[in-house]
Structure 1
């Protein structure tokens, strides 16, 4: 994530208020609920020793509602929380879990003071003091024990952010995937990496190769291995398309109209800008094309 003035993505939906939908059973002692205003998937996994909540919503009040209703549904106390990444609609409710162990990638804590994140949370009255740093961090993977079962938290590398992680519930054959996939297409914001994102998805695809596994994205309906694999290919095509545009002398300002894009432009514009910058850093930038026949030269 950018540590400059660029806003964290997504930004709050205009005029929308935080709310929480009902919990839906999706596996053995495993549920999901949808937190508005950004339709965020909140995960819940219960074991004999307690329950784990995955992502926290947009505000401390919404986080408190998630915790209260989760305990009512699971029948055991919430004993820990896990975070997939540090965008406002996933971490804004952290204060409600301040007294519990919190799991996240080791880079996530550094993003909780990002000016863009705080700007996105400001309309809800959330400040940096409402965003306690995770207490149980990991670089590659870490297990969250729940008594008779374990949730595996795995870093997938730089994709939607530089600290994306997924939560694997192996005995329920599902993965809470955060925002590395979305049925409507991924959001490539200023902190995404369009070059490394396809490789990050290989971690998820490897899990979904097993029969009857599903990925539950951070927004939207569950996705199959085939759907995730197709989205991987589409994401990979973005850097290739930028490479083609640069070869043709097309600058970023004209890329929306000149490019062949697999997703709506507003979802990928910042990521395309990143791809241009990445190629420019390697010395590959658009150049003005010379005409085949100069207009000031006449044929004999």
Structure 2
């Protein structure tokens, strides 16, 4: 049950959310290439759906309870089987604010133990408070941050974990710290599909935030070791040519690091360094104006720390 947090006729005002086929019994929904807003109900990220013999596995829960409810309605169009598990690739708002709907529907929630630091943090509290203002009525006083039922990587044991669900194996690998400390990637070997979370952004500028961009680049290379035929990114369209399509995210991160490393080494003020850099290669990508300067500044600070 969705609860009292949704305004009336929420479904009628929901963004379009077609299930896009990826492989046999695998689908995903693609969020808008935009910043989260009340107008799009925070539908700016992707979610994956894998149908097994006994239930459905969902990868990420979208950015509001209304969106999660809409996703469940879409799932009900293809199967009456229960939603067994939701695997959370990382605890950013656009991927987790729908978790409460899946929990209320009886799903088990799975995430990495490094997410504990965020779930119990003042940052998470402040982010939710801001979302209640910026994304109202889709995020409101009833929206809550859900902790997982199953923590992976407990006690520092970070080997790959295989979840056996309904005759299908899901190989879950901790790829962080990278985009976030708790990054998970999810491989479904029988379907040759890999869900990358926000290690991969396609056809838009990535959100770097406080990421460890050096480790992120390494994680991209390790992800390709799965040799998937298809990668479902955290944002943007599905990739049928992973080695080529991952290059945009990797090249952008490398460019940021190279440009800001030079500035940090030369003690060049950030504003001067940012103005000097030639951003032409990336400036036509969606969300460049919204996130690139912030990405560059955070990378500048990171490169200062790495130089010490």
- Global fold match (TM > 0.5): yes
Whole-Å Cα distance in 1 between the matches of residues 236 and 110 of structure 2? Answer: 23
* Counterpart check, 1:138 vs 2:152: yes
Aligned counterpart in structure 2 of residue 227 of structure 1, from 245, 254, 271 = 245
Whole-Å Cα distance in 2 between the matches of residues 197 and 135 of structure 1? Answer: 27
Contact kept, 8 Å, 1:29 with 1:74, in 2: the verdict is no
Aligned counterpart in structure 1 of residue 220 of structure 2, from 201, 205, 213 = 201
Whole-Å Cα distance in 2 between the matches of residues 145 and 120 of structure 1? Answer: 38
Q: Give the superposition deviation at 1:103.
A: 0.9
Contact kept, 8 Å, 1:118 with 1:127, in 2: the verdict is no
Return the TM-score normalized by structure 2.
0.77
> What SS does structure 1 have at the residue aligned with 2:95?
helix
Structure 2 CA distance for partners of 1:111 and 1:259, relative to 1, 3 Å: same
Q: In structure 2, list runs of 5 or more residues that go unmatched.
A: 1-12, 33-39, 283-287
* Counterpart check, 1:22 vs 2:18: yes
Q: In structure 1, list runs of 5 or more residues that go unmatched.
A: 1-16, 285-300
Equivalence for 2:90: 85
Select the structure of larger CA radius of gyration. Answer: 1
Counterparts of 1:22-41 in structure 2, within 5 Å, are 22-35=18-31, 37=40, 38-41=43-46
CA RMSD of aligned residues (A): 2.4
Return the TM-score normalized by structure 1.
0.79
* Counterpart check, 1:149 vs 2:156: no
Equivalence for 2:127: 117
Q: Give the superposition deviation at 1:190.
A: 2.8
Whole-Å Cα distance in 1 between the matches of residues 306 and 23 of structure 2? Answer: 47
Equivalence for 1:103: 110
Whole-Å Cα distance in 1 between the matches of residues 146 and 272 of structure 2? Answer: 42
Q: Give the superposition deviation at 1:90.
A: 0.8
Structure 2 CA distance for partners of 1:92 and 1:129, relative to 1, 3 Å: closer
